Amino acid sequence: MEAVRTLTDGAGADVIVDSVGGTNLQRSLHCLAYRGRCVTFGDAGRETPSTLDISSMRANNQTLVGYFLGAELFLGTRAHAMIAGHLADIASGDLHVVIDRRFALEEAGEAHAWIESRQAFGRVLLVP
């Protein structure tokens, strides 16, 4: 929280996208700027969901939005178009995907363990 305040000259972050959830989501809310918005879309931290203290959000005109990609994929076309656009950008070289490590398909267990260790920075690939 202190690092966010330092980096923003004390203002806080305008937008936070939180995929970790749990107690990290509470910390994300404390990092918001006036009129800041936090989007929560996952529980990658695998913590049991906690009760959030949102008491300071109203006075700071802040918002918390939940997002579930599964519903978007099932109910709408917007996510499909966005994903298709990203894939086209990757194919053309306009968007570069950071690959952390490659594992042989036979090493799927090790790849999964690497991802769960939370040390990966970028994508982890299984190569047949």
pLDDT 10s digits, 14-53: 999 998 888 899 999 999 999 999 999 888 777 777 789 9
Residue 60, domain CATH: 3.40.50.720
> Rounded to whole angstroms, how far apart are CA atoms 96 and 101?
15
DSSP string for 67-123: --HHHHHHH-SHHHHHHHHHHHHHHHTSS---EEEEEEGGGHHHHHHHHHTT---SE
To which H or E segment does residue 27 belong?
Answer: helix 22-30
pLDDT of residue 28: 95
pLDDT of residue 14: 97
**Is 83 a domain residue?**
no
**Is 90 a domain residue?**
no
**Is 42 a domain residue?**
yes
pLDDT of residue 73: 83
pLDDT of residue 97: 87
Q: Are residues 50 and 8 in the same domain?
A: yes
**Is 51 a domain residue?**
yes
Question: Domain containing 118: what range?
Answer: 97-128
Q: How many structural domains compose the chain?
A: 2
For residue range 70-79, list pLDDT tens digits in order.
Answer: 888 888 788 8
> Rounded to whole angstroms, how far apart are CA atoms 80 and 1?
35
